[in-house]
Amino acid sequence: MGETMSKRLRLHLGAEAEMEERAFANRFPDYEAAASADAAASAAAEDADDASPAPAPDGLGLPFHDDGKIIPTFTRRIQTKIKDLLQQMEEGLKTADPHDCSAYTGWTGIALLYLQLHRVTGDQTHLLRSLDYVKRTLRNLSGRRVTFLCGDAGPLAVGAVVYHKLKSDGESQECIAKLLQLQKSIVCQDSDLPDELLYGRAGYLYALLYLNTEIGPGTVSESAVREVVTAIVESGKALSREERKAERCPLLYQWHRKQYVGAAHGMAGIYYMLMQPAAKVDQETLAEMVKPSIDYVRHKRFRSGNYPSSLSNETDRLVHWCHGASGVIHMLMQAHKVFKEEKYLKDAVECSDVIWQRGLLRKGYGLCHGTAGNGYSFLSLYHLTQDRKHLYRACKFAEWCLDYGAHGCRIPDRPYSLFEGMAGAIHFLSDVLTPETSRFPAFELSPSQTDKKM
């Protein structure tokens, strides 16, 4: 027994050292402490018979009003930082790879950022800027990959949306037609195309759903969407049978022979797409295929509340959107919306506690494996629950991003890109300003007509 104890202790200490290596300790007070400091400050102001409430002591208090509107001083700090970072980004992009047109690390990601800035500010110059980048990507399609994040579907779908917004419907249609030409290679079951989000079928499906939510239902026909959904479901069933897991996990997926769990390469990202209302997956498939598979993944959860990077991995290490709780939480929230069971929400809230504790990453400020990507999980949970605790946590992660570069984080390979670097942090900051409509780019879909009817 003594041996077991010491082994356990060693494991525990090892995990702590590992944690410190990957993330900064979160020294922000949590919501409860901040809310009571805020209440105390207001009470003091009332006592003093002062018409304007005194702000809570520095670092304490809430950065938003009771209705969830961000307070002006915090708004101004974010706006100033966005301006400053945009300038740095544009300067830095002068030396970026001219041929990388992906949404993940290349020019489509920058086009998406300007599209977002246009959405939140209404400023037309951002839309025109986005168009500049779109034109550049459309001249440079790679013809190699097929997904929204890493392949040609990204530039084509974003191109279609930007042209549509500019009322250039001919150009928009041309992009959509080219996008649909990729479909044949996607639905072919004999190909070795994976199903995950970064390089596989779910990443192509996202492009179709993006068009149907951004331009309107029917932009891509239901039958085209169904064809891709069927290919993903059949592929999952086939692997599940092969691995003799049909009972426990009816839809099983792998990438490079590993059964990944997270949003980027794994099952969480694939199930998340299948549960989107715009994907119109039938109730039977959702209830009998997707739901038990989600429950299977849920059982792989670590005691900490975090998730492994793959089914065979037992080390509780990564808390990123790509691997770990920060990606899985989106699957859990969607499962709660679709299946209306409390257990999914409870798990999602537990994920958010892990992200709060371990989410200020040394890897940087980006979306895929950085602090901004982790911050999005709080914004999404705020949408779902309207609990201001999650808005507060998102604001604190935004505050962390306001000190961009000051923490001694690792510099990513593509430091200005949407998924690895600065563009992603700017995207997050702009969403914190309008938290009620925020969405993780190239992943979360805006509420569509079908969604509203639900």
Residue carrying structure tokens 């919306």: 337
**Whose Cβ is closer to Zn ion: residue 126's or residue 265's?**
265
Piece in contact with Zn ion (CB under 5 A), picked from 42-50, 76-84, 150-158, 360-368: 360-368
Piece in contact with Zn ion (CB under 5 A), picked from 12-20, 121-129, 220-228, 362-370: 362-370
Piece in contact with Zn ion (CB under 5 A), picked from 8-16, 82-90, 245-253, 320-328: 320-328
Site residues (CB under 5 A) for Zn ion, limited to 363-382: 368-369
User: Was 409 annotated as part of a binding site?
Assistant: no
Q: Does 265 bind Zn ion (CB under 5 A)?
A: no
**Whose Cβ is closer to Zn ion: residue 277's or residue 424's?**
424
Q: How big is the site for Zn ion, counted in residues (CB under 5 A)?
A: 3
- Provide the mask over 278-317, with x wherever binding to Zn ion is found by CB under 5 A and - wherever it is not: ----------------------------------------
User: Was 249 annotated as part of a binding site?
Assistant: no
Write the DSSP string, 358-403: H-SBTT-S-SSSSHHHHHHHHHHHHHHH--HHHHHHHHHHHHHHHT
Q: Does 268 bind Zn ion (CB under 5 A)?
A: no
C-alpha 431/C-alpha 191 separation (Å) is 38
Give the closest residue to 393 by CA, choosing from 335, 340, 308, 329: 329
Write the DSSP string, 29-98: --HHHHHHHHHHHHHHHHHTT-SSPPPPSTT-S-SB-TTSPBPHHHHHHHHHHHHHHHHHHHHHHTTS-T
Smallest gap from Cβ 405 to Zn ion, in A, equals 19
Residue carrying structure tokens 């034109």: 135
Give the closest residue to 405 by CA, choosing from 420, 422, 419: 422
Site residues (CB under 5 A) for Zn ion, limited to 136-165: none
C-alpha 333/C-alpha 439 separation (Å) is 13
**Whose Cβ is closer to Zn ion: residue 149's or residue 391's?**
149
**Whose Cβ is closer to Zn ion: residue 230's or residue 313's?**
313
Smallest gap from Cβ 318 to Zn ion, in A, equals 9
Q: Is 58 left (phi over 0), alpha (psi -120 to 50) or beta?
A: beta
The angle that helices 371-385 and 325-339 make with each other, rounded to 10 degrees, is 20
Smallest gap from Cβ 196 to Zn ion, in A, equals 12
How many other C-beta atoms can be found within 10 angstroms of the C-beta atom of residue 188? 10
**Whose Cβ is closer to Zn ion: residue 277's or residue 421's?**
421
Given a contact cutoff of 8 angstroms between Cβ atoms, the answer to whether 153 and 104 are in contact is: no
Chain residue at closest Cβ approach to Zn ion: 322
Smallest gap from Cβ 366 to Zn ion, in A, equals 8
User: Was 369 annotated as part of a binding site?
Assistant: yes
- The tokens of 206 are what? 């996202």
Smallest gap from Cβ 369 to Zn ion, in A, equals 3
Q: Cα dihedral sign for 44, 47, 50, 53?
A: positive
**Whose Cβ is closer to Zn ion: residue 115's or residue 322's?**
322
**Whose Cβ is closer to Zn ion: residue 175's or residue 367's?**
367
Smallest gap from Cβ 53 to Zn ion, in A, equals 42
Q: Cα dihedral sign for 358, 362, 365, 370?
A: negative
Q: Does 322 bind Zn ion (CB under 5 A)?
A: yes
Annotated binding-site positions: 322, 368-369
Annotated binding-site positions for Zn(2+): 322, 368-369
Instruction: Give the footprint of Zn ion on this chain (CB under 5 A).
Output: 322, 368-369
